[in-house]
């Protein structure tokens, strides 16, 4: 984090990344003094509602974040920034995206949690676009031109007002991670009873185990002894708000619809109370660890891994076999996970996996058979990428084995 005082004093000359959050109501023109170096500009958590035309002077600017501000229109000047690749304007009040506000090299666009009712047709004329996050808006339809987004790999359109399944998206050749729950076209009144409902007063939350966009997971103990459940459990308390992936209620119902699978986090009970939604799960054994790391700004949609991390071909074979079985279980139950990644996967030394994080999950049993088949095909691409990532972790001495070649054939 930097300060306005540092900027004005000249102390930040030559930096490539600038982050200022000081309740700014106007764009600090001193930022333009960084034109020769600035690549990433982060103005998140301010009170801005416009950007100056002079922004184009930042000729090296590749990324701009301006989430949690007061923008009502996506600034047109962004479309004139020739090298701008990533735009993040989450949680503003944007209701209008001008046709010419999208830069030609756009690769990543985040407009989650705004007030959009429509998008410009120019969106489909950005051939480099790989990642598009539109959850939590008021969109009633999507531009037909989006059928031209042949490089789009990750798409979030959950929690909108789309009345018809956007067919123009289902044939996109690279789309692999797709979240669409919480729209009228896939409305579902399903209230799964695969696990019992319990009261939130029946347990006490202890230390936090982890958290994501949709909720916080904590260890919990029962206030009175329970015969039906383990003594210690994990409880995910949903935040009760729209996330980058959609509504927490859709995540919960997709989770419960799947029932039991040995490689999924096991659900034990649910809590459905006013302003309190929670999922009680088995504690994951402490020896499990994350298989991958989330994508970075450069990799965009692909997972990253700890430098030097490798897996034997035997481990990879087992991990791929178990994830393939999870994939079939998902789609036999007509649930699209939407986030099939190594970073949502835990593994142990025996290469057993536990797969979780259903924040982007979408149920699709209400769609037509051709639409269902295409949804499965979309997620199959994510499985192919997963296998490819696993093979990238294989040491050179294992790359001549029959098992390695067989897996290479699966992704050819």
Is 315 in the same domain as 405? yes
How many structural domains are present in the chain? 2
Tell me what pLDDT residue 281 has.
Answer: 95
Q: Are residues 223 and 329 in the same domain?
A: no
Which domain CATH number covers 210?
3.30.200.20
- 394 shares its domain with 315: yes
On whether residue 133 sits in a domain, the answer given is no
pLDDT at 235 (0 to 100): 96
Q: Using alpha carbons, list the distances in angstroms from residue 380 to 295, 362, 411.
A: 19, 15, 10
pLDDT attached to residue 152: 98
Both 374 and 293 in a single domain?
yes
Tell me, yes or no, whether 215 lies in a domain. yes
Q: 234 and 281 in contact (C-beta within 8 Å)?
A: yes
Residue 41 lies in a domain: no
314/249 same-domain check: no
Q: What tens digit of pLDDT does each residue of 332-362 get?
A: 999 999 999 999 999 999 999 999 889 899 9
313 and 230 both lie in a single domain: no
Q: What pLDDT score was predicted for residue 303?
A: 96
Residue 392 lies in a domain: yes
Count the helices and strands in the chain (H runs, E runs): 6, 18
- pTM for the model: 0.94
Does a structural domain hold residue 94?
no
Query: Token pair of 131, please?
Result: 């990642």
Is residue 240 in some structural domain? yes
Q: Is the same domain home to 310 and 397?
A: yes
Q: Mind listing the pLDDT tens digit for each residue in 372-395?
A: 999 999 999 999 999 999 999 999
Nearest to 386 by CA among 267, 288, 303: 303
What CATH number is associated with residue 368? 1.10.510.10
* Single residue among 281, 308, 326 that ends a domain in this structure: 281
> Are 268 and 335 contained in the same domain?
no
Examine residue 34 and state whether it is found in any structural domain, yes or no.
no
Domain boundary among 220, 253, 281: 281
Q: Are residues 397 and 320 in the same domain?
A: yes
What whole-number distance in Å separates Cα of residue 146 and Cα of residue 155?
11
**In the prediction, which pLDDT does 79 show?**
98
Q: Of 251, 281, 311, which closes a domain? A: 281
Identify the pLDDT of residue 225.
Answer: 84
User: Is residue 236 a known part of a binding site?
Assistant: yes
Report residues of the chain scoring pLDDT below 50.
Answer: none
pLDDT value of position 192: 67
Domain-located, residue 86: no
The residues, ordered by sequence, that sit 6+ positions from 307 with a Cβ below 8 Å of its Cβ are none
Longest dimension (CA), the chain: 67
* Domain interval for residue 368: 289-410
275 and 378 in a single domain? The answer is no
């Amino acid at each position: 984090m930097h300060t306005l005082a540092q900027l004005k004093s000249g102390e930040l000359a030559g930096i490539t990344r600038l982050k200022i959050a000081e309740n700014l109501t106007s764009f600090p023109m001193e930022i333009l003094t960084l034109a020769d170096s600035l690549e990433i500009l982060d103005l998140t958590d301010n009170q801005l509602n416009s950007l100056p035309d002079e922004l184009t002077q930042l000729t090296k600017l590749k990324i701009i974040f301006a989430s949690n501000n007061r923008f009502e229109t996506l600034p047109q000047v962004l479309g004139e920034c020739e090298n701008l690749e990533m735009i993040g304007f989450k949680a503003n009040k944007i209701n209008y995206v001008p046709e010419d506000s999208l830069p030609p090299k756009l690769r990543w666009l985040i407009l989650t949690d705004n007030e959009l009712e429509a998008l410009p047709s120019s969106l489909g004329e950005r051939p480099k676009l790989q990642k598009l996050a539109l959850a939590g808006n008021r969109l009633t339809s999507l531009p037909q031109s989006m059928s031209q987004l042949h490089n789009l790999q990750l798409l979030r359109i959950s929690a909108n007002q789309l009345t018809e399944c956007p067919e123009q998206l289902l044939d996109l050749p690279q789309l692999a991670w797709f979240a669409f729950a919480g729209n009228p076209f896939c409305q579902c009144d399903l209230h799964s009873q695969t696990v019992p409902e319990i009261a939130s007063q029946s347990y006490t939350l202890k230390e936090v185990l982890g958290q994501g966009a949709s909720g916080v997971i904590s260890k919990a103990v029962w206030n009175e002894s329970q015969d039906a459940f383990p003594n210690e459990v994990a409880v995910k308390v949903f935040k009760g708000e729209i996330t980058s992936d959609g509504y927490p209620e859709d995540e919960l119902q997709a989770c419960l619809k799947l029932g039991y699978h040995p490689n999924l986090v096991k659900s034990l009970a649910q809590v459905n109370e006013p302003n309190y939604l929670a999922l009680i799960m088995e504690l994951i054994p402490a020896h499990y660890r994350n298989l991958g790391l989330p994508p970075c700004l450069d990799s965009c949609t692909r997972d990253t891994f700890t430098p030097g991390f490798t897996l034997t071909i035997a481990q990879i074979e087992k991990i791929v076999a178990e994830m393939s079985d999870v994939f079939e279980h998902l789609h036999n139950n007509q649930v699209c996970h939407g986030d099939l990644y190594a970073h949502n996967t835990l593994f142990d030394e025996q290469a057993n996996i536990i797969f979780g994080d259903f924040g982007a999950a979408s149920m699709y049993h209400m769609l037509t058979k051709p639409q269902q088949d295409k949804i499965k095909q979309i997620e199959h691409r994510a499985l192919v990428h997963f296998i490819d990532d696993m093979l990238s972790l294989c040491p050179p001495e294992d790359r001549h084995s029959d098992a390695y070649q067989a897996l290479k054939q699966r992704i050819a």
